[in-house]
C-alpha cells in the first residue's frame, strides 16, 4: 500500500526520502516519486519501476533540496502509470505551487473533480489524489497550515497526506484520517512518514498522529491540531524501529527465507513462557478473561485463517464460544453485540484498515474488552487494543504471509490454554503436556522443512496446472484455505479449498484427471472419513497429493502421491502442515517464474479498505 515520507531540514534531504521509500517498499507498490523545493521552484521525479530506479534518476538529475515529500503508490484510482504516480502538482507542472502525496481513498473525488474542473483546473491523472492537490491550491490563503485544515474538511474518505508549497520553503503540512501517519522529531529538522521504520536511522523520536490531526512541520518546531482545530499535545515516544529487512543470506527469496525462519521465530514468540499465565496478554488480562463468556475474532486474509483455526482450538479446549468474522464484512453488517465478548484482532502489520475499522465498530457496539495478536508492537492495532500479545516473527518482507501466520497460531494456542485455565478446564498435567509440545515445535517444524526436496518434485507437476483443490477436515480445514491462498497469490494458479465432507455437495463436479487435489491427512479422529473423500476423488480420476502423518496408513499408488510428515502433532498439527503447503506454493511459483516476493496487484500492508 502507499507509503509516505516527508522532511524539512537544513541539509539535503533527498537521501533521507529515498532511504525512507526503500524502507516502505515492503508494503507493496507499483510506482514511486519524490518532489523537492529547489531554488524557489518545485521539482519532481517519478518512476513506474523500483525505488532503486527512482534513486538513479534523482542522482542523475542532481536533485537536491531542504524540503520535500516522497511516495510509493499502490494503484487504486488510475493505472500504475507515470502520470498517476505521486507527488501531484497544482496547478500544473510548469507553474507548480503545491506538491502533495496521499495514502487512502477519497470517496467524493468525482464531485470535487467536477467542481475544480469548472474552476479551470486541468487534471493530468486519473487519481483521487490530484483532486486534493488542486483543492489545496484553490483554497490557498498564504498559510499552508491553515489552508490544509480547511481543505481536509471537504474530503470524505480515508487519507494520510503530506503537502508543501512553493511560497513557504521551510514547511511541510501533513494530516491523517483513517490512514496511518507518524511525525519524526529531529534537532532543527522534522519528518513525517507512514511508519516509524521509514525513519529508522534518521530519528527515533516518534509521534503517532491521531484521527483528524493536522501537523505543521517547520525547521525548529512542529505543531499539531486535532480534528476540531484545537492545539493538541501528542506524546513523543522513543521507538526503536527495525532498521529494515535483513539480508537474504543463502535464500533466493524473502518468502523462502521466512518459511525457514519459522522454527526460530516460533521459539522467539514463545520465549519466556514458562507457564500459562493471563498476564502474558497484559496486566488486566485475568480480570478481563474472567468477565468474558464469548470471543469475537476479527481479521483479514491469512490472519483470518489463523482466527478460524483458533475457533476450533478455543471451543474444543476452553469451551468458550467463538465467532470469527472477516473484518471488511463485519464492519458493515448488522450483528448482535454482547458486552461480555472478548474482541480479538489478528494482524501481522497492525495497520490493516478493515481490521482497525472492524475493531472500532465492535467498540462502538459496546464491546470494550479488546485484545490483539500482532507482529508490530508500535502499530495502531496495539495502541487501540487494551490487551496484546506481540508475536516475534520479525520483519516479514514477502508479501505472502508465512512466519507471521505460524507465530499467530502459536500465540492463539497460548490464548486457548489461558482461557481454558481461567475457566478451570486445564489440569496441571495438561498444561505441562501442551507446554512441552509447544517447546518442541521448533524441532518438529525443522523436520517438516527438511521435506523440501520431495515437495519440489511435486511443485514441478503443479507448475503445469491451472487449477487445484485443497481438502482438509476439522482444524486442518483453515489450513487447506491457507494452502490454497498461498498457491493462488504467488503462482497465480486458481486454487480453492473445501472441507473434504463438502466435496460431494458441489466441487466434485470439477474433479477430472487435470485436477490435482491436495489433501491434508493428519492421523486424527477424522482420518477414516477423509479416506472416503479421497476415494471419491480417485473414482473421478482426480490426482491426489496427500500430506499424511508418519503413522497414517496411506501409501502412494496410482494417482495417489504421499508425503509423510515426521511427527503426528495432535492439536498443534496445523502449524506443521501449513509449513509443507507454504513450500509447495513457493516452489510452484518458482517453477512458473513469478515474482514470488511481490506478487502482482498485491500489497503487504493494506491500509485502505
Ligand atoms: C496473504 C496475506 C494477507 C494478509 C492480510 C491481513 O498472504 O498476507 O491475506 O494476511 O492482508 O494483513 P494483516 O495480517 O497485516 O492484518
The three-point CA angle 258-438-289 to 5° equals 105
Q: Which residue is it, cell 459496546?
A: 366
The reported pLDDT for the residue numbered 554 is 87
The pairing of strands 98-106 and 157-165 is antiparallel
If asked whether residues 177 and 252 sit together in one domain, one would say no
515 CA distance to ligand 1 centroid (A)? 27
If asked whether residues 525 and 547 sit together in one domain, one would say yes
303 CA distance to ligand 1 centroid (A)? 6
- Expressed as residue numbers, the domain containing 480 is 450-609
The pairing of strands 369-374 and 168-177 is unpaired
CA distances from 449 to 316, 332, 442, 453 (A): 28, 40, 11, 9
Residues forming a β-bridge with 46: 33
| Region of 89 on the Ramachandran plot (φ > 0 left; ψ -120 to 50 alpha; else beta) | beta
If asked whether residues 427 and 481 sit together in one domain, one would say no
**Per the residue annotation, which of 403, 486, 598, 604 is the catalytic one?**
604
189 CA distance to ligand 1 centroid (A)? 35
Hey, whose CA ends up nearest to atom 16 of ligand 1? 347
Mutate to test the pocket of ligand 1, among 401, 404, 606 (most ligand atoms within 8 A of CB): 401
Is 348 in a helix, a strand, or coil? coil
Predicted TM-score (pTM) of this structure: 0.79
If asked whether residues 180 and 257 sit together in one domain, one would say no
If asked whether residues 304 and 155 sit together in one domain, one would say no
Mutate to test the pocket of ligand 1, among 194, 302, 351, 599 (most ligand atoms within 8 A of CB): 302
If asked whether residues 168 and 271 sit together in one domain, one would say no
C-alpha cell at 489: 497469490
Give the DSSP H or E segment for 341. strand 341-347
| Cβ of 400 below 6 Å from ligand 1 | yes
| Number of C-beta neighbours around residue 451 at 10 A | 17
**Per the residue annotation, which of 2, 32, 374, 385 is the catalytic one?**
2
C-alpha cell at 201: 536511522
190 CA distance to ligand 1 centroid (A)? 32
Sequence-distant (≥ 6) Cβ neighbours of residue 354 within 8 angstroms? 300, 327, 328, 331, 606, 609
Tell which of 385, 412, 446 closes a domain.
446
Sequence-distant (≥ 6) Cβ neighbours of residue 332 within 8 angstroms? none
Buried b (16+ CB within 10 A) or exposed e, 137-175: bbebeebbbbbbbbbbeebebbbbbbbbbeebebbbbbb
| Cβ of 542 below 6 Å from ligand 1 | no
The reported pLDDT for the residue numbered 370 is 98
If asked whether residues 499 and 544 sit together in one domain, one would say yes
Task: Please indicate whether residue 598 is annotated as part of the active site.
Answer: no
The answer to whether 90 and 136 have CB atoms below 8 angstroms apart is yes
E runs forming strands in 489-533: 494-499, 516-521
If asked whether residues 92 and 197 sit together in one domain, one would say yes
Tell which of 194, 217, 241 closes a domain.
241
E runs forming strands in 475-559: 494-499, 516-521, 543-549
Report the CATH number at residue 81: 3.60.20.10
If asked whether residues 439 and 457 sit together in one domain, one would say no
Hey, whose CA ends up nearest to atom 7 of ligand 1? 400
Hey, whose CA ends up nearest to atom 3 of ligand 1? 301
Hey, whose CA ends up nearest to atom 5 of ligand 1? 301
| Cβ of 487 below 6 Å from ligand 1 | no
If asked whether residues 127 and 151 sit together in one domain, one would say yes
Ranges under pLDDT 70 in the chain? 241-247
Report the CATH number at residue 380: 3.40.50.10490
The reported pLDDT for the residue numbered 316 is 97
CA distances from 262 to 30, 392, 573 (A): 29, 10, 15
Quick: pLDDT tens for 37-81.
Answer: 988 999 999 999 889 999 999 999 999 999 999 999 988 888 889
| Cβ of 606 below 6 Å from ligand 1 | yes
Instruction: Give the phi and the psi of residue 567 in degrees, each rounded to 5.
Output: -135, 150
The reported pLDDT for the residue numbered 552 is 82
348 CA distance to ligand 1 centroid (A)? 7
Q: Which residue in 161, 48, 13 sits closest to 98, CA to CA?
A: 161
Hey, whose CA ends up nearest to atom 9 of ligand 1? 301
Domain count of the fold of the chain = 3
Quick one: DSSP state of residue 317? I
The reported pLDDT for the residue numbered 246 is 57
The three-point CA angle 30-33-36 to 5° equals 170
| Cβ of 301 below 6 Å from ligand 1 | yes
Task: Please indicate whether residue 2 is annotated as part of the active site.
Answer: yes
Instruction: Give the phi and the psi of residue 104 in degrees, each rounded to 5.
Output: 130, -165
Quick one: DSSP state of residue 201? T
End-to-end CA, the chain: 11
If asked whether residues 208 and 267 sit together in one domain, one would say no
The reported pLDDT for the residue numbered 451 is 96
If asked whether residues 475 and 585 sit together in one domain, one would say yes
Q: Is the bond preceding residue 169 a cis peptide, omega within 30 degrees?
A: no
Tell which of 218, 241, 264 closes a domain.
241
Amino acid at each position: 500500500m502507499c507509503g509516505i515520507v516527508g522532511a524539512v531540514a537544513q541539509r539535503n534531504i533527498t537521501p533521507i526520502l529515498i532511504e525512507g521509500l526503500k524502507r516502505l517498499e515492503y508494503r507493496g507498490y507499483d510506482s514511486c516519486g519524490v518532489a523537492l523545493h529547489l531554488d524557489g521552484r518545485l521539482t519532481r521525479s517519478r518512476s513506474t519501476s523500483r525505488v532503486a530506479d527512482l534513486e538513479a534518476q534523482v542522482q542523475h538529475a542532481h536533485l537536491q533540496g531542504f524540503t520535500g515529500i516522497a511516495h510509493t503508490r499502490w494503484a487504486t484510482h488510475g493505472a500504475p502509470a507515470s502520470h498517476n504516480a505521486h507527488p501531484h502538482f497544482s496547478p500544473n507542472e510548469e507553474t507548480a505551487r503545491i506538491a502533495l502525496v496521499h495514502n487512502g481513498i477519497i470517496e467524493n473525488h468525482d464531485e470535487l473533480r467536477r467542481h475544480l474542473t469548472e474552476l479551470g483546473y486541468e487534471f493530468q491523472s486519473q487519481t483521487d489524489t490530484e483532486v486534493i492537490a488542486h483543492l489545496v491550491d484553490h483554497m490557498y490563503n498564504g498559510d499552508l497550515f491553515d489552508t490544509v485544515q480547511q481543505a481536509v474538511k471537504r474530503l470524505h474518505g480515508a487519507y494520510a497526506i503530506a503537502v508543501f508549497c512553493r511560497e513557504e520553503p521551510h514547511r511541510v503540512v501533513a494530516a491523517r484520517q483513517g490512514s496511518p501517519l507518524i511525525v519524526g522529531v529531529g534537532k532543527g529538522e522534522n519528518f513525517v512518514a507512514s511508519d516509524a521504520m521509514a525513519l529508522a536511522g534518521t530519528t527515533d523520536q516518534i509521534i503517532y498522529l491521531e484521527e483528524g490531526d493536522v501537523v505543521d512541520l517547520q525547521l525548529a518546531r512542529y505543531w499539531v491540531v486535532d480534528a476540531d482545530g484545537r492545539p493538541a499535545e501528542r506524546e513523543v515516544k522513543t521507538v526503536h524501529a527495525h532498521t529494515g529487512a535483513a539480508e537474504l543470506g543463502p535464500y533466493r527469496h524473502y518468502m523462502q527465507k521466512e518459511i525457514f525462519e519459522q522454527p526460530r521465530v516460533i521459539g522467539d514468540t514463545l520465549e519466556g513462557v514458562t507457564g500459562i499465565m493471563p498476564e502474558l496478554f497484559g496486566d488486566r488480562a485475568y480480570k478481563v478473561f474472567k468477565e468474558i463468556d464469548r470471543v469475537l475474532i476479527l481479521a483479514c486474509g491469512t490472519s483470518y485463517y489463523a482466527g478460524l483455526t483458533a475457533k476450533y482450538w478455543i471451543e474444543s479446549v476452553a469451551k468458550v464460544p467463538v465467532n470469527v468474522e472477516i473484518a471488511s464484512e463485519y464492519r458493515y453488517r448488522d450483528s448482535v453485540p454482547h458486552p461480555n465478548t472478548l474482541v480479538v484482532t489478528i494482524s501481522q502489520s497492525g495497520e490493516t484498515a478493515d481490521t482497525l475499522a472492524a475493531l472500532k465498530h465492535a467498540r462502538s457496539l459496546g464491546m470494550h474488552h479488546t485484545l490483539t495478536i500482532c507482529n508490530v508492537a508500535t502499530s495502531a492495532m496495539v495502541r487501540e487494543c487494551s490487551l496484546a500479545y506481540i508475536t516475534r516473527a520479525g520483519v516479514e518482507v514477502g508479501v505472502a504471509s508465512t512466519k507471521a501466520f505460524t507465530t499467530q497460531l502459536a500465540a492463539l494456542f497460548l490464548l486457548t490454554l489461558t482461557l481454558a485455565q481461567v475457566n478451570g478446564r486445564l489440569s496441571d498435567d495438561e498444561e505441562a503436556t501442551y507446554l512441552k509440545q509447544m517447546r518442541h515445535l521448533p524441532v518438529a517444524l525443522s523436520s517438516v522443512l527438511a521435506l523440501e526436496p520431495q515437495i519440489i518434485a511435486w511443485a514441478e507437476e503443479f507448475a503445469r496446472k491451472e487449477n487445484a483443490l485443497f481438502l482438509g477436515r476439522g482444524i486442518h480445514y483453515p489450513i487447506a484455505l491457507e494452502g490454497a491462498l498461498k498457491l493462488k497469490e504467488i503462482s497465480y494458479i486458481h486454487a480453492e479449498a473445501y472441507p473434504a465432507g463438502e466435496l460431494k455437495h458441489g466441487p466434485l463436479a470439477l474433479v477430472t484427471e487435470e485436477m490435482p487435489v491436495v489433501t491434508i491427512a493428519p492421523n486424527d479422529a477424522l482420518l477414516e472419513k477423509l479416506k472416503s473423500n479421497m476415494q471419491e476423488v480417485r473414482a473421478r480420476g482426480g490426482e491426489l497429493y496427500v500430506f499424511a502423518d508418519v503413522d497414517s496408513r496411506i501409501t502412494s499408488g496410482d494417482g495417489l502421491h504421499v508425503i509423510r510428515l515426521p511427527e503426528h502433532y495432535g492439536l498443534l498439527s496445523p502449524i506443521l502442515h501449513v509449513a509443507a503447503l507454504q513450500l509447495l506454493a513457493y516452489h510452484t511459483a518458482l517453477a512458473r517464474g513469478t515474482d514470488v516476493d511481490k506478487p502482482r496487484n498485491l500489497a503487504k500492508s493494506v491500509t485502505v479498505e
